[in-house]
Chains A and B, each alone.
Chain A
């Protein structure tokens, strides 16, 4: 049974229908990518999962329907890193990390994870007391990921992590995500405009067009898929 399943999920912003009934799934320890042009509904898909937008249809996580409130979704074990990272710019790096663990009750575990976060992202250790808003784009992306990990989620939702970042920084980021997936079995659903990168980093992918799933399948195959190549890979 897949970890996450979307069945016939539709969503709208006022009169604008952003998702027109999509079916999507993420398996245990899988990295799944969602591709598409601007306005295709990629971000809305993640929002539908984290209940930050009103949806119809079913969102099922670990066999149960997800509650319709973002706080409860976080408690259920899903960490959503939104577009723009959603860091608390006026709070320090340390405080941002501590906030990540808000839903957890095991203090010893939180402490251990905190130390591991600083090990894994040394730049954060260096800038622990600084306001998060003073970090560079790449550093903030690391902070956002670290904060999400503090939640000890089973599923990580990443919204356009490559946005505004230099290619080297982005590559490093995806490397870390891949490691987390391999070593700790973290499932990831990543939305990306950078199709090449997304397909290279994931095992399966969905291509959205105007709120519907246009193409879906194994990433390796999609990389060779005719229309995907033309529209999203540029060759």
Chain B
């Protein structure tokens, strides 16, 4: 007999799942952004997000409270992403996608190593973004933190969507990604559009990291790696071509993994990651384009 308490529990777990899913979604959108703009998967996306989070942590150790540190870090990450693109990606702009992918792997090592070098390997902990008190909605206790993370993640993605859909610059960026040749003829500086894309993606990554860190309690320099895995899984599930797909896929994955972890007792951390991998493989085998992606039509 299913009592009311069971549904409350499920609701809480769903919300908790959406909350982790929200951080995956933000990172997944960053991945999709760069992928659509340049055809490259940025392997270093997670590490960059981690680096941003550590920068924010340092700020909080020097008198900043969470939200000012958040704002400063996201802004700095935007600039950092642009700088990174100009210095490291631009020189290999014309090279093959494989070459650029290897460069992002190199960046992965540099950023990961730099984070260990600059901050000791000792675990850190991040002040809370939101109050830790629960809030009662329809008689069920939800964590404000969960709701807050969902809100911030969705807000970030929505702002980005708004930017791309309704602003002149956003339109130019979309055009540059779709058809660089024609864009140049229209006067769009395609190279700078790519740099901007990197800036936005890095800023989004910072949001993801800053949302993911506080609930962890304690975290170290490797904390974004599982999240990157889940972001990939979410993006594949939703369709790596589509930002909407990445968001929906990531949220769904977050809920799925959380419910799996809660109600199937033998699924520990290791197996959560394995479950994500299984999702990736499963989707790729059955419907590579994902739920929302367009089946690749090959131009002959």
Direct contact of A and B (CB under 8 A): yes
Chain B residues contacting A121 (CB-CB under 8 Å) are none
* In the assembled complex, B89 has its CB within 8 A of some CB on chain A: no
> Closest B-chain residue to A81, C-beta based?
B185
In the bound complex, residues from chain A placing their C-beta under 8 Å from that of B178 are 88-91
CA distance A70 to B191 in the complex (A): 12
Q: At the interface, is chain A mostly helix, strand, loop or mixed?
A: loop
A98: B residues at CB distance < 8 A:
168, 171
Contacting residue for B171 out of A80, A82, A87, A99, CB 8 A = A99
- Choose one: B172, B184, B186; the contact of A52 (CB below 8 Å): B184
Q: Is A102's beta carbon under 8 Å from chain B?
A: yes
User: B182: CB under 8 A from chain A?
Assistant: yes
Which residues of the other chain, A, contact B168 by a CB distance below 8 angstroms?
A: 98, 102
Residue picked from B185, B188, B189, most chain A C-beta under 10 Å: B185
- Find out whether the CB atom of B179 lies under 8 angstroms from the CB atom of A88: yes
Q: Which residue of the partner chain A has the closest CB to B188?
A: A102
- The interface residues of chain A lying within 8 Å CB-to-CB of B185 are 50, 52, 70, 74, 79-80, 82, 86
Chain A residues with CB under 8 Å of B172's CB are 99, 102
Q: B124 in the interface, Cβ–Cβ < 8 Å?
A: no
Which residues from chain A contact B187 at a C-beta distance below 8 Å?
A: 71, 74-75, 102-103, 151
Contacts of B181 in A (CB 8 A): 52, 82, 86
Q: In the complex the two chains form, is B182's CB within 8 Å of A74's CB?
A: no
Chain A nearest CB, measured from B192 CB (Å): 9
B183 neighbours in A (Cβ, 8 Å):
99
Distance in Å from the Cβ of B107 to the closest Cβ of chain A?
A: 28
B86, CB-defined interface residue at 8 Å:
no
Count residues of A near B (Cβ-Cβ below 8 Å): 24
Residues B184 and A71 in contact, CB atoms below 8 Å apart: yes
B174 within 8 A of A: yes
Is there contact, CB below 8 Å, between A103 and B184?
Answer: no
Q: Closest CB-CB distance, A182 to chain B, in whole Å?
A: 25
Contact residues in B for A88 (Cβ distance below 8 Å): 175, 178-179, 182
Please encode chain B, from 248 to 288, with 1 for each CB lying within 8 Å of some chain A CB and 0 for all others.
Answer: 00000000000000000000000000000000000000000
A168–B281 Cα distance when bound, in Å, is 53
| Majority-rule SS of B interface residues | helix
Near A by CB (< 8 A), chain B positions 66-107 give none
Q: Which of A26-60 contact B (CB under 8 A)?
A: 50, 52
- How many positions in chain B have a CB within 8 Å of any CB in the partner chain? 17
A209 beta carbon closer than 8 Å to chain B: no
**Least distance between B231 CB and chain A CB atoms (Å):** 25
Binary contact track A74-108/B, C-beta < 8 Å → 1, others 0: 11000110100011111100010011101100000
Looking at the assembled complex, report how far the CB atom of B206 sits from the nearest CB atom of chain A, in whole angstroms. 29
Contact of A103 among B179, B182, B186, B190 (CB under 8 A): B186
A84: min CB distance to chain B, Å:
9
Whether the pair B179, A86 counts as a contact (CB closer than 8 A) is yes
Which chain A residues in 95-134 approach chain B with CB under 8 Å?
A: 95, 98-100, 102-103
Of listed A52, A75, A88, A98, residue having the most chain B CB within 10 A: A88
Inter-chain CA distance A80–B182, complex, in Å, is: 9
Q: Which residues of the other chain, B, contact A80 by a CB distance below 8 angstroms?
A: 185
Quote the shortest CB–CB distance from A173 to chain B (angstroms).
19
Please, which residues of chain B bring their CB within 8 A of the CB of A147?
Answer: 186
B175 contacts A99, C-beta separation under 8 Å: yes
Q: A88 CA to B172 CA in the complex, in Å? A: 11
Q: Please measure, in the bound complex, the distance between the C-alpha atom of A235 and the C-alpha atom of B151, giving whole angstroms.
A: 73
B290 CB, nearest partner CB in chain A, Å: 18
**What are the residues of chain B within 8 A of A95 when measuring CB–CB?**
171
- Chain B residue nearest to A100 in the complex (CB): B186
Looking at the assembled complex, report how far the CB atom of B84 sits from the nearest CB atom of chain A, in whole angstroms: 23
Q: Is the CB of A86 within 8 A of B182?
A: yes
Expressed in whole angstroms, the minimum distance between the Cβ of A100 and any Cβ of chain B is 6
Give A48 Cβ to nearest chain B Cβ, in Å. 14
In the bound assembly, the distance between CA atoms of A226 and B182 in angstroms comes to: 39
Identify 24 residue pairs between A and B in the complex whose beta-carbon atoms are under 8 Å apart, listed by A's number.
A52-B185, A69-B184, A70-B184, A71-B189, A74-B186, A79-B185, A82-B182, A82-B185, A86-B179, A86-B182, A86-B185, A87-B182, A88-B175, A88-B178, A91-B178, A99-B171, A99-B172, A99-B175, A102-B168, A102-B172, A102-B188, A103-B186, A103-B187, A151-B187
Q: Which residues of B are interface residues toward A (Cβ below 8 A)?
A: 168, 171-172, 174-175, 178-179, 181-190
Closest 9 CB pairs of A and B: A74-B187, A103-B187, A70-B184, A86-B182, A80-B185, A102-B187, A71-B189, A102-B186, A71-B187
